Amino acid sequence: MRLFRLLKIATVASRFGLDEMVLEHEPSGRLVRLANALQFWRNLSAPRAERLRLALEALGPIFVKFGQVLSTRRDLMPTDIADELAKLQDRVPPFDSALALKEIEKAYGRPASEVFAEFDPVPVASASIAQVHFARLHDCDGGHEVAVKILRPNMLSVIEHDLALMDSGALLLEKLWSDGKRLKPREVVAEFAKYLRDELDLMREAANASQLRRNFTDSELLIVPEVHWDFCTSTVMVMERMRGTPISQTDKLRADGIDLSKLSAAGVEIFFTQVFRDGFFHADMHPGNIFVHADGRYIALDFGIVGTLTDSDKNYLAQNFLAFFRRDYKRVAEAHIESGWAPKETRVDEFEAAIRAVCEPIFDRPLKDISFGKVLLRLFQTSRRFNVEIQPQLVMLQKTLLNIEGLGRQLDPELDLWKTAKPFLERWMSEQVGWRGLIKTFKQEAPYLARTLPQLPRLVHQALSAPPQPSLQPQMEQLVRARRWQNVWLALIALLLALLLGSQHL
């Protein structure tokens, strides 16, 4: 099977001239001329980025997904390729409804007609990993209207084969392309494999949805569908059916009386709340996954990809954002070095000047005049110059920021992201390091203190009544003496060897 798959990949790569994209980096140019001569019938007039996108689409859902992930790695991809891959849509041809019904029967051990009171065989959405059908539960199960997400059948075997082939291709790319080692294609494939395997477990996605819903319980900004756990398996996920307007349909939103300026500001607040309050954020916020409820709240869908941040990550990011908003570029540079992301020997003044050159031109400008893609690209170029390590969790954050940019441009091009985000960050920082932070930390540590404090008298008594530990000084002195004698014997042996060698030359 792997051999046939490899032959298909080679055929598609040849048809779209992907070999030319790799071989053109060979210094002499002989290999690319030979490849083009042997495949003279090909039409390679289209730009290389467009040919790459078409090739990924021809290879199927896994490669489409890989292209989507690559489009977010603007720190690694040339600009033209990243822009073209960003055009890849989540919608791919759905699989047959009969297969969907078989997958349901396989998951539950009984046909869909017994599991659901109603099941629409026509999918309402189809993506590279799964597709969604609407259904209704039986009255004995609550009679709720639900959305049923079904994993594409036989995905595991195909994915493992494709990932193995991708890794082999990445290894070849490292050997043949001058920039191969710097771009680390095998690490990119490994990162893609990690997120892809996570997405293949719909129980994990259900858990992500449940966590996000709990984080935004009774929120006036965001609605997250309820998960029906009794009907969730690793291949089928059942959640509350949501009704709303896709966020990309701005004309309909206006007609429904939705304030787009307010909506765009709410989107910024939701993002920063997820990142800094929860350290758990929806990392796939493209327009296809975001709807708007009739009451003006956001509706989040598709929770296969989420990002997580530690407390140290959040603190580092908050310091950088605040310093950035205050145009304190020296503090931004210092924070990078203090965190270990930039080498300790980095000159702060040079790093500060480079950051200023990237960031200063975008202040006091509305969102319509700013391209986060270009800003992030220049920041990553600066990072490479100063050997800054790009953290995986921040790559997810970068991807989400690009999604936020796209949503913001659609809703309110005049949105001032800085003025919207700065008060939130200042409030968050005051809660972390001020007296509110002290009270919050004390509350978090209260259970531990309540358990430990009553034990302190006993622990102190045990420490005071314990017999004194024998001193290690005698053993240390003995080791030093032994080491000295060892050195004396080595010197004597060396002297004897020297005398023997000298006597041989006499």
Residues 417 and 35: their CA atoms lie apart, in Å, by 49
Residues 281 and 462: their CA atoms lie apart, in Å, by 47
Is 284 designated active site?
yes
Q: What are phi and psi of 442, to 5 degrees?
A: -65, -40
Q: Angle 178-45-183 (CA atoms, 0-180°, nearest 5)? A: 20
Helix axes 185-199, 61-71, angle to 10 degrees: 120
Q: Which residue has the tokens 């939705």?
A: 258
Residues 124 and 388: their CA atoms lie apart, in Å, by 44
Residue 422 burial class via C-beta count within 10 angstroms: exposed 0-12, middle 13-18, buried 19 and up: middle
Question: How many C-beta atoms lie closer than 10 Å to residue 72's C-beta?
Answer: 23
User: Which tokens belong to 364?
Assistant: 């006091």
* Calculated CA dihedral for residues 38, 25, 74, 391, nearest 10 degrees: 120
Q: How many CA atoms lie within 13 A of 239 on its CB side?
A: 24
User: Which tokens belong to 338?
Assistant: 């203090």
Residue from 19, 75, 284, 313 carrying the catalytic annotation: 284
Residues 259 and 152: their CA atoms lie apart, in Å, by 38
- DSSP 8-state class, residue 366: -
Q: Angle 474-476-481 (CA atoms, 0-180°, nearest 5)? A: 95
Q: Is 129 helix (H, G, I), strand (E, B) or coil?
A: coil
Residues 48 and 57: their CA atoms lie apart, in Å, by 14
Output the DSSP codes for 259-328: -HHHHHHHHHHHHHIIIIIISEEES---GGGEEE-TTS-EEE---S-EEE--HHHHHHHHHHHHHHHTT-
User: Which tokens belong to 349?
Assistant: 């003044």
User: Which tokens belong to 105?
Assistant: 């029967």
Residues 182 and 174: their CA atoms lie apart, in Å, by 9
Q: Which residues contact 46 (CB under 8 A, 6 or more apart)?
A: 54
Residues 506 and 502: their CA atoms lie apart, in Å, by 7
Q: Angle 306-73-328 (CA atoms, 0-180°, nearest 5)? A: 85
- Amino acid type, 478: Q
Q: Which residue has the tokens 């004597």?
A: 492
Catalytic residues: 284
